[in-house]
Amino acid sequence: MVPVHAAGNALRRCARPAARRFSTVLDDNVGPVVPPAATASRSTPESKDALESACRARQPRSTWSKDEIRRIYNTPLMQLAFKSASLHRRFHDPSAVQMCTLMNIKTGGCSEDCSYCAQSSRYQKEVGLQPTKLSSVDSVLQAAQTAKDNGSTRFCMGAAWRDMRGRKTGLKNIKSMVEGVRAMDMEVCVTLGMIDQAQAEELRDAGLTAYNHNVDTSREHYPSVITTRSYNERLATLDAVRTAGVNVCSGGILGLGEKPEDHVGLIHTVSTLPSHPESFPVNALVPIKGTPMGGNKPVPFDAILRTIATARLVMPKTIIRIAAGRTTMSEEQQILCFSAGANAIFTGEKMLTTDCNGWDEDKVMFDKYGLKPMKSFERGHLREESLEEAPVDLVSGDGPTNHEASL
């Protein structure tokens, strides 16, 4: 049995990260990302030092080394998930999950050669997907209202384009979509390929909450997935979005034939940006017949859980979203992800060109496990008061359960 006072001290040591600044105007009351204060050397193994450093950090940091992230990622999974769950509860309401709905507003015909994507024109014949024109503003707003009526608080729109060059009419219509969704008091996110700062500023002025542009995988593995857009071009888009004052949403896809080291590299890329992304989508590849990766084997669940837990420890205030591939997870696996630090999902009728868990299904799961939809524009913050009032025997296992402590 661990003494109560010792357990309390251990819990508080793992629960002191301070506020940080996002890349957008939504987060204007928190401090900047700074390097951690120097700490005394310990006799514990290096992997434990990196893990405890993540728990002890008083402020989030953008100076993570790949070696530190690797040590955290390779921590025994039960210990890793416990630590990430503890830190998650310091910054987020563990019962709140952001419900996002994604609409494909322009399907197919993309000139990129992303090996996993059914919307590439290079695989159109094999996949059998017919390109469409940009959806009308009215049809998009109707879909957004349906999403809101079903409990979604964030509406995302995706267009299969390489970039926005020469698309003035398209940009004008998308700005009208953004304005209409924001008028519903919903968060709104778009993913339109590469954009420059001027285009990002136009979207910002229309009310855009976030811009999604995934880096997909590690820099090292990236060339085996995509050849028509460089890794640096992706980072340049993120920089343009951040500079324009729009939230950055950037994550990756697991199951692209990568190794665990590439999961480390993915997290290292986004956690060492000038500001951590506001949200980090974790996708599990849904292999689509006719694409070069149509025969890939499913990524093991433990790799998904490790990635979520590591991302939570390295980026404590970021929203971590279970994105594509959630239909392959059991209800129990999803709950493990929520416990370890995931706090957003895509829900609704479809995920671009793949299936999506429906609203009714998710409502049943939420009711069963005591989850609730996150409010619009709700963000993580250091829950200082709850730290001092938290039960001190969570480490020993005595006293109230985590569920009881959160009620």
Q: Which of 14, 117, 337, 356 is catalytic?
A: 117
Q: Which of 249, 306, 312, 337 is catalytic?
A: 249
Half-sphere exposure of 115 (CA within 13 A, CB side): 19
Length of the chain, in residues: 407
Q: Which of 55, 114, 337, 356 is catalytic?
A: 114
CA distances (Å), origin 353, targets 104, 128, 190, 324: 8, 12, 16, 10
Give the C-alpha separation, 338 to 319, whole Å.
11
247-249 and 344-346 strand pairing: unpaired
Q: Which of 55, 156, 337, 356 is catalytic?
A: 156
- 154: enclosing H helix or E strand: strand 154-159
- The CA-based dihedral angle spanning residues 276, 300, 122, 159, taken in that order and rounded to the nearest 10 degrees: -40
Q: Which of 14, 55, 100, 189 is catalytic?
A: 189
Could you give phi then psi for residue 268, rounded to 5 degrees? -65, -40
Q: Which of 20, 90, 167, 321 is catalytic?
A: 321
Whether 100 is catalytic is no
Q: Which of 55, 100, 110, 356 is catalytic?
A: 110
Q: Where are the alpha helices (DSSP H) in 26-167?
A: 46-56, 66-73, 77-91, 124-127, 137-149
Q: Residues 357, 80: contact at Cβ < 8 Å? A: no
Whether 337 is catalytic is no
Give the C-alpha separation, 199 to 194, whole Å.
10
Closest C-alpha among 6, 94, 54 to residue 398: 6
Give CA angle at 26 (51, 310), nearest 5°: 15
For 209-277, the DSSP string reads -EEE---BS-TTTGGGT-SSS-HHHHHHHHHHHHHTT-EEE--EEE-SS--HHHHHHHHHHHHTSSS--
- The CA-based dihedral angle spanning residues 9, 339, 303, 155, taken in that order and rounded to the nearest 10 degrees: -130
Give the C-alpha separation, 383 to 90, whole Å.
5
Whether 356 is catalytic is no
Q: Which residues are catalytic?
A: 110, 114, 117, 156, 189, 249, 321
